[in-house]
Amino acid sequence: MLLVSAPILGVPEKAALSKVIDSGWLTMGEQVRAFEEAFAHMHGAEDCVAVNSCTAALHLILHALGIGPGDEVLVPSMTFVATANAVLYVGATPVFVDIESADVPLMSIVEAEARCTARTKAVILVHFAGYLANREEWQKFARARGLQIIEDAAHAPGLKEVGTFGAAAAFSFYGNKNMTTAEGGAVIARDPKLLETIRQARGHGMTTGTHQRLNSRTPQYDVTMLGFNYRMDEMRAAIGLVQLQNLQEWNEIRRILVMLYRRLIAKHCPAVTVPFHEPRTSAYHIMPVLLPRYADRQDVIDELRRQGIQTTIHYPPVHQMTLYRELFPGTYLPRTEDFAQRELTVPLHPQITAPVVESVAAALATAVHSCAQAGTAA
Ligand SMILES: *Cc1c(COP(=O)(O)O)cnc(C)c1O
């Protein structure tokens, strides 16, 4: 089965893991610190905080910004549920905002404007599929209303612009992301004080960590704030350091594969459209396509599966999940809903070759054409 995404792991990751195991120190220590420095450097940031997931990163950012009960946070619904869940964790209210269009399935600034109230404190931008939101427009929007910008950058690691939009950015190193530590995440924040608050909240709000106390005269520590256990460990950081060395090259391979997909889909099945048709900076995390309205998506999924090609859907809208329908009944986002009904994600990862892209595009064309014929026959 050709998978939608697959991690690339090999001898260097195994060697890095062995070294950590032989060292006898498994919890947050030198590897984590080295990973933080390397990850920050790649993004042109002074520093960053490694955590155990992007969800934890988002929670820590909202918590450190003091967002809580009574506050509203603008979020897209065309995202993974974690984006909105993090807002609920701090007791604030996620306010779902529609996408711009089927071609630009990023949060609409016009819709965001319409959903702003006196209680709106922040906006979480998701760089959907790796394509960056418009920084200048969002900064203007946020400045005019005194809002914090938080980036959910789970899809966009490795881009210099990420982490420069506003207060902070959250990254994911889950197994299906552009680089992985199995589970893992990171926070980049521009304000060093905010980053230090996040660093402390990551480890129970303690003033020092276990590793720091090892190298210190005093075994004492204090707890000066409510914190969490969102630490990364040495094994994950060691894998992350190896993965990070490949990230730029992997993103470049993704870019080339996406260009090829676009060309082949336009040629062989123009009824299928590929979002973001205008060039835009991207980390090319996934390859979303939009099926024509006459196509039965399940039939297309089945046909591709018969040919050994996995597909997925990004995303079932968060506002339509049972939990969120119960919490916020009556939310209606027409463009998000239409996009979600027609979207299909085809395989994209750096181990895919050009002939594989050709076979996926051909299989997609066959599946969609047979839908068209079935439609004509009916
Ligand atoms: C994967 C993902 C997350 C969650 O990441 P974890 O590391 O699994 O917590 C959050 N937001 C988006 C957009 C994602 O794709």
Question: 326 with 372, same domain?
Answer: yes
Which ranges of the chain would DSSP assign to H, the alpha helix? 11-23, 30-42, 54-64, 82-89, 109-115, 135-145, 192-202, 210-214, 234-268, 297-306, 322-327, 334-342, 354-377
Give the residue among 347, 253, 314, 361 at the shortest CA–CA distance from 3. 347
Which atom from ligand 1 is nearest to the alpha carbon of 184?
7
Q: 27 and 149 share a domain?
A: yes
Task: Determine the distance from the C-alpha atom of residue 192 to the mean position of all C-alpha atoms in its chain, rounded to a whole number.
Answer: 23
Q: Is residue 94 part of a domain?
A: yes
DSSP assignment of 345-366 equals EE---TT--HHHHHHHHHHHHH
Q: Is 138 in the pocket of ligand 1 (CB under 6 A)?
A: no
For residue 376, what pLDDT is reported? 67
Residues 194-234 pLDDT 10s: 999 999 999 999 998 777 777 787 888 999 999 999 999 99
Average pLDDT value for the chain = 96
State yes or no: pLDDT of 119 exceeds 90. yes
Global model pTM greater than 0.95 = yes
Please report, in angstroms and rounded to a whole number, the separation of the first and last CA atoms in the chain.
32
17 and 96 assigned to the same domain: yes
Domains contained in the chain, number: 2
Q: Is 31 in the pocket of ligand 1 (CB under 6 A)?
A: no
pLDDT tens string 304-344: 999 999 999 999 999 999 999 999 999 999 999 999 999 99
Q: Are residues 230 and 253 in the same domain?
A: no
Ligand 1 pocket mutation, candidates 80, 152, 155, criterion most atoms within 8 A of CB: 80
Asked if residues 61 and 170 have their Cβ atoms less than 8 Å apart, the reply is yes
Please return the burial class of 103, using the count of CB atoms within 10 Å of its CB with bins 0-12, 13-18 and 19+.
middle
**Which atom of ligand 1 is closest in space to residue 82's alpha carbon?**
10
**Ligand 1 centroid vs 370 CA: distance in angstroms?**
35
CA separation, residue 286 to residues 243, 350, 372 (Å): 18, 11, 26
Per-residue pLDDT at 212: 78
**Whole-number Å distance between alpha carbons of 154 and 183:** 12
Q: Could you give the percent of the chain with pLDDT greater than 70?
A: 99
List the CATH number of the domain containing 351: 3.90.1150.10
Residue 378, pLDDT score: 54
Distance CA 370, CA 225 (A): 61
Q: How far is the CA of 80 from the centre of ligand 1 (A)?
A: 6
Look at ligand 1, atom 15, and give the residue with the nearest C-alpha: 154
Q: Does residue 97 share a domain with residue 188?
A: yes
Q: Are residues 274 and 328 in the same domain?
A: yes
Q: Which atom of ligand 1 is nearest to the CA of 174?
A: 7
Q: Which domain holds residue 228?
A: 11-242
CB of 157 closer than 6 angstroms to any ligand 1 atom: no
Residue 177: active-site member:
yes
- Structure-block tokens of residue 13: 């990751």
Ligand 1 mean position to 58 CA, how many Å?
Answer: 9
- Which residue CA neighbors atom 5 of ligand 1 most closely? 54
Whether residue 178 is found in the same domain as residue 79: yes
Q: How confident is the model at residue 377 (pLDDT cuts 50, 70, 90)?
A: low
Ligand 1 pocket, residue 55 CB under 6 Å: yes
Q: Which of 226, 242, 258 is the last residue of a domain?
A: 242
DSSP secondary structure string for all residues of 244-272: HHHHHHHHHHHHHHHHHHHHHHHHH-TTS
pLDDT tens-digit readout, 73-89:
999 999 999 999 999 99
Span 16-34, mean pLDDT?
Answer: 97
3-state helix, strand, coil in the chain (%, to 5): 45, 15, 40
Q: Which entry of 140, 177, 193, 267 is annotated as an active-site residue?
A: 177
Let me know whether 252 and 360 are in one domain: yes
Residue 269 and residue 335 in one domain: yes
Whether residue 152 has its Cβ less than 6 Å from ligand 1: yes
Q: Strands of 120-126's sheet, edge to edge?
A: 49-51, 185-189, 168-172, 148-152, 120-126, 72-76, 93-97
Residue whose C-alpha is closest to residue 179's, from 266, 93, 239: 239
Is residue 4 in a domain? no
Mean pLDDT in residue range 154-180: 98
> What is the C-alpha to C-alpha distance for residues 102 and 273, in angstroms, rounded to an integer?
9
Establish whether residue 83 lines the binding site of ligand 1, counting it when its CB lies within 6 angstroms of any ligand atom. yes
Closest C-alpha to 319, from 72, 74, 77: 77
The lowest-confidence range among 30-44, 118-132, 210-224, 303-317 is 210-224
What single-letter DSSP state applies at residue 161?
Answer: T
